[in-house]
Chains A and B, each alone.
Chain A
Amino acid sequence: MGDARDQVLAIVADILAVSPEMLTGQSSPKSVESWDSIRHLNLVLALEERFSIQFSPEEMEQMQTIGQITSLVESKLTGTASS
């Protein structure tokens, strides 16, 4: 699962155009300057494509920090997502 976490971080860093070292589980649109509405949608779509998953609107509601995004991806990959 650590591998998925690293991949999520790499995708986030790539789309937000920041170094992965600058990101933490608490990083959010508020704390990352380049994280705007368009990049957020780009991020959702990139994660869906990379992991062959689909986020429902209810799941997207939980994607507000990198920690939340990582947990959601991991839970979907293990089939434990709640929605």
Chain B
Amino acid sequence: MGISIRPHSAEYAGAVLRFNQRLNAGGAEDWMQAEPQPEARWLPKKEGESLYNETFLAVENDEVRGSYVLKHQNFSFGGNQIHSIGYYHHPVSEGTIDKTYAPVGALMIRDAIRRQPMLYALGMDGPGKPLPQMLKLLGWKIWLVPFYFLVLRPFRFLRQMEIIRENARNRLLADLAAFSGFGYLGINAAHALRRMRRAAATYSVKCVPVFENWTNDVWHSGKIQYSMVAVRDSSVLKKLYPASEQHFTRLQVFRNDRVVGWAVIAQRGPKPRFGNLRVGSVVDCFAAPEDASLIAHAAADALKERGFDMLVTNQSNTAWGKAFKHCGFFEGPSNFLFAASPQLSRLLDPFDRTKVQTHFTRGDGDGLPRSF
């Protein structure tokens, strides 16, 4: 009997539970779990909605052998075209624990492309993982979205950051820098030098419980300058960052008395690469590119007040990258990939030029609302 891909439905709830149990028992990574119920916990499908998740299952007889989620969302291209684009995320295959099912991964991607040819994938934990390798084989355009970081507590950074302590030599050097004080001086001097190159931004900021209609003006005045950006008007933002999700801080940013943009900040979920560091994240942000620096400063300053050890953000857009660098951020090694299907790539042609004019952040990823 073959394997067929079907929309998740109540009849498969038991099979999904068994699938997840097999993945757990087989040692699959923690995130590799299929959505237990047909209705997605995050952004469920509702009548008339353009922003929603739907789950598909790879079914063999009465058992589930794979699962993926399609997030449907409207994107603006250059401000004058709106297209519904699919985001292929959370693909989970029994092939990761049982080679009998190695074909399931390829089958699910092909199925997703047929359902929504204009498709993208994001994150994926770096180019060496199976998913990006498969997408590359299928002719997708793949690009590493830049990662920026700002160290606020050098001692804890040098002692905790796993990525700089990967071998004995590096651990020794990091410990020497931490305990001698040279690390503190060096890191702070580097950040200060970067900030000095730019005059301090003058802004005022307000924490808001929900993104109201003022975000529509920000959206309409800024969207035209981005080659591809998910619609970020008030109705979308209320769904992505609802008032009920209190771990998000929503910032409304002003120049003089005029609203110029917004940012969403929060504590980053635990990741092995960050060790025990308390990491603050600029999850999402939006403004016209010329106002990016103001928003970046407001977000970074708000996070600094909250006592984090380090701040991080992913920004695909060059102007936003520069804005965070002006706040003292450095660009670091990224494992946050953006991949565009051939049909989507055509809307971004020439990709090498337009990719840096897109606006993707962690807010476009699959981890909301909890583990961005």
Residues of A whose CB lies within 8 Å of any CB of B are: 28-30, 35-42, 44-45, 55-58, 60-64
Chain B hits for A62, CB < 8 A: 2
The CA of A38 and the CA of B128, in the complex, are separated in Å by 11
Q: Name the one of B100, B134, B137 contacting A29, with C-beta atoms under 8 angstroms.
A: B100
Per the 8 Å Cβ criterion, residues 276-310 of B in contact with A are none
**Contact between chains at A35 and B130 (CB < 8 Å):** no
**Contact between chains at B99 and A61 (CB < 8 Å):** no
Chain B: minimal CB distance from A31 (Å): 9
Q: Name the one of B4, B95, B114, B133 contacting A61, with C-beta atoms under 8 angstroms.
A: B4
Residue B253 at the A interface, CB < 8 A? no
The CA of A41 and the CA of B224, in the complex, are separated in Å by 38
Chain B hits for A61, CB < 8 A: 2-5, 107
Q: Nearest 8 pairs between A and B by C-beta?
A: A29-B102, A37-B105, A41-B106, A61-B2, A30-B100, A57-B111, A29-B99, A40-B103
Chain B hits for A55, CB < 8 A: 110
Residue B104 at the A interface, CB < 8 A? yes
Chain A hits for B110, CB < 8 A: 55, 57, 60
Residue of B107, B111, B114 with most partner-chain A CB within 10 A: B107
**Contact between chains at A64 and B137 (CB < 8 Å):** no
**Contact between chains at B114 and A57 (CB < 8 Å):** yes
**Contact between chains at A38 and B133 (CB < 8 Å):** yes
**Contact between chains at B4 and A37 (CB < 8 Å):** no
Chain A hits for B163, CB < 8 A: none
Chain B hits for A29, CB < 8 A: 95, 99-103
**Contact between chains at A60 and B106 (CB < 8 Å):** yes
Residue B93 at the A interface, CB < 8 A? yes
**Contact between chains at A38 and B130 (CB < 8 Å):** yes
The CA of A17 and the CA of B198, in the complex, are separated in Å by 56
Q: A41-B134, A58-B4, A61-B4 are in contact. Are A28 and B106 (CB under 8 A)?
A: no
**Contacts A36-B102, A39-B102 known; 17 new A-B pairs at CB < 8 A:** A29-B103, A36-B130, A37-B93, A37-B102, A37-B104, A38-B137, A40-B102, A40-B103, A41-B106, A41-B134, A56-B114, A57-B114, A60-B106, A61-B3, A62-B2, A64-B2, A64-B100
Binary per-residue interface labels of chain B (108-139) against chain A in the complex, 1 for a CB within 8 Å, 0 otherwise:
01110010000000000000001001100110
The residue of chain B having its C-beta at the shortest distance from the C-beta of A46 within the complex is: B137
The residue of chain A having its C-beta at the shortest distance from the C-beta of B137 within the complex is: A41
Residue of A37, A58, A64 with most partner-chain B CB within 10 A: A37
Chain A hits for B111, CB < 8 A: 57
The residue of chain A having its C-beta at the shortest distance from the C-beta of B133 within the complex is: A38
**Contact between chains at A57 and B95 (CB < 8 Å):** no
Chain B: minimal CB distance from A29 (Å): 4
The CA of A58 and the CA of B100, in the complex, are separated in Å by 18
The CA of A41 and the CA of B91, in the complex, are separated in Å by 15
The CA of A61 and the CA of B130, in the complex, are separated in Å by 19
Q: A38-B133, A42-B137, A45-B137 are in contact. Are A60 and B101 (CB under 8 A)?
A: no
The CA of A40 and the CA of B102, in the complex, are separated in Å by 7
Chain A: minimal CB distance from B337 (Å): 16
The CA of A55 and the CA of B114, in the complex, are separated in Å by 12
The CA of A42 and the CA of B93, in the complex, are separated in Å by 17
Q: Name the one of B2, B4, B99, B138 contacting A41, with C-beta atoms under 8 angstroms.
A: B138
Q: Name the one of B2, B3, B103, B138 contacting A37, with C-beta atoms under 8 angstroms.
A: B103
